[in-house]
Amino acid sequence: MRYFLFFSYNGKSYHGWQKQKKSITVQEKIEESLSVLLKEIIEVVGAGRTDAGVHAKQMVAHFDVDEIIDNPKKLVFKLNQFLSNDISIKSIKSVKNNAHARFDAISRTYKYHINKEKDVFLDQYGYYINYSLNKKKIIEAIKIIVSNNDFKCFVKSKTDVTNYICDVLDAKWLESDQEYIFEITANRFLRNMVRSIVGTLIDIGSGKTSLNDFVEIIKSKDRSMAGYSVPARGLFLTKIDYPKKIFI
């Protein structure tokens, strides 16, 4: 039987989602806990990767188990007792045997938080800047992002990725008294893409980069032309959507 696991985590203490030999990751901790509680070796496949220090308000992974889980809510309770407080299991749902947490995802949404003022409580979940940003210019830049589908200029040069095409479904720049929030939804994301976009938007909002420059940056497909990559701590994976037909 195949199941989808819905959960959240604080990425501060982890070297990202994906299991690695010499680093502690979220995938490793969840696999260990499921294997103990279900009394068989369990491997989980995530909906995607998050880098070291990135958080997830909603992450999804699938796993297979030999026996039907009679009481998913009870297993959720046990997992939350077993796992540390920085990983929270929300639900377990049965799906069709060919359902895939990564490949069946319709869209993913990320939010990046930028603090307007220094705050000792918000600092670990946002990036503080001590200057104001031009909202009008940033919104114009976001329109350019939405109309584009090649994001090679925002991806690290040393990568094994060959496909840089992403369909951005929506992007917003939100503002409150305390913070700016960049929200973006797409069918897929490339490594470091959101953090590089945010760094470039900050350059535009501060007047360092013009909108004409931004168009040329995208056309260049050159990572060195785009802005800096903002810190991981302000980035949250907030939502992953799936077609209803894969659930039982």
Give per-residue burial for 51-73: e unless 16+ CB within 10 Å, then b: bebbbbebbbbbbeeeeeeeeee
Which residues have CB under 8 Å from 106's CB, separation 6+? Answer: 187, 241, 242, 243
Q: Which of 51, 150, 170, 222 is catalytic?
A: 51
Residue 178, both tokens: 């305390």
Beta bridge partners of 45: 62
End-to-end Cα separation, the chain, in angstroms: 11
Distance of alpha carbon 2 from alpha carbon 43, whole angstroms: 11
Active site residue 51: yes
Virtual CA dihedral for 177, 109, 11, 26, nearest 10 degrees?
Answer: 160
Distance of alpha carbon 201 from alpha carbon 223, whole angstroms: 14
Q: How far is CA 143 from CA 87, 133, 170, 188, in A?
A: 35, 17, 9, 18
The catalytic site residues sit at: 51
